[in-house]
Amino acid sequence: MDRNSRIFVAGHRGLVGSAIVRRLTEAGYGNLITRDRSQLDLTNQAEVRTFFERERIDLVYLAAAKVGGILANDRFGGDFIRDNLLIQTNVIDSAWRAGVRKLLFLGSSCLYPKHAEQPIREDALLSGPMEPSNKPYAIAKIAGITMCQAYRRQFGFNAISAMPSNLYGPGDHFDPETSHALPGMIRRFHDAKMAEDPTVTLWGTGTPRREFLYSDDMADACVHLMEHYDDEEIINVGPGDDIAIADLAALIRDTVGYPGTLTHDLSKPDGHPRKLMDVQRLFATGWRPKVPLEEGLRRTYAWFLEHAAPERIRQAAE
């Protein structure tokens, strides 16, 4: 990359996309191209092709996707597979047709088999059955990875694919029902604190283990990979360690300052029992995360209080 490259960040208002924009701006990249949904519908092939033909993009960070937690995936599986297939197909194909030099596609650790050997190596993809709760999303994203690999082999298109661990940070979605586990817990603990509720109920047993990467660290890894990685094989991106959901809940409770107790709804699904990725391939390129989980939680809750807390949203509307 050079400072004059025309760089399209697809999904620039999302958790990862907004962090990528911050990272590139701080690094002095001045030709960042962004479009919101009202300006460019990524599910519309004609619009996307016209956009790439007109804008002469050099590099693409494909962070746009329809995402959500267990409940959202279970309720809206059709939306998840349709929208993600359309977005990634249109962007990847149009980027290749328009002569884009390089594209970074983002997958997810949830694409790996439910019972993959831990830590999960990149070659575990498609080696076993998927977690049923997010199968439509996973199949769509695996198709995107395969498309990047096929376009590289057939057309010489320089497309790479990264597999992030669970991400969190400023700009996340904090809906208690449709968000991912970590931001959903921040919202539930905050609401319980404000309402002085004596208990907060969490889904499942609390025993599954997850690894969490702060969004600005993920953005830094994306820029690093764009500059230093050129292989068709997927590459895991994560901190290399994990935490039980129950222990994460205790950390979030302390961060929020909620004084009540935790209970568990055992009728709700746990999802994958564990998702710890092998990040040796990434670390061998010289990259390491910088933000510890406790610090990332403090930053995320501070952003939530300023931008996304129900009280703040209500005040803004007034």
- Active site residues per annotation: 137
DSSP 114-171: TTPPSSBPGGGTTSSPPPGGGHHHHHHHHHHHHHHHHHHHHH---EEEEEE-EEESTT
Q: Consult the annotation and say whether 236 binds a ligand.
A: no
Q: Consult the annotation and say whether 144 binds a ligand.
A: no
Rounded to the nearest angstrom, the gap between the alpha carbon of residue 283 and the centroid of all alpha carbons in its chain is 19
Q: Consult the annotation and say whether 169 binds a ligand.
A: no
Q: How far apart are CA 260 and CA 154, in angstroms?
A: 58
Q: Consult the annotation and say whether 224 binds a ligand.
A: no
Q: Consult the annotation and say whether 210 binds a ligand.
A: yes
Q: Consult the annotation and say whether 180 binds a ligand.
A: yes
Q: How far apart are CA 308 and CA 300, in angstroms?
A: 10
Q: Consult the annotation and say whether 18 binds a ligand.
A: no
Q: Consult the annotation and say whether 281 binds a ligand.
A: no
Q: Consult the annotation and say whether 127 binds a ligand.
A: no
Q: Consult the annotation and say whether 203 binds a ligand.
A: yes
Q: How far apart are CA 63 and CA 23, in angstroms?
A: 14
List the binding residues for NADP(+): 11-17, 106-109, 141, 164-167, 180
List the binding residues for substrate: 188, 203, 210, 270
List the binding residues: 11-17, 106-109, 141, 164-167, 180, 188, 203, 210, 270
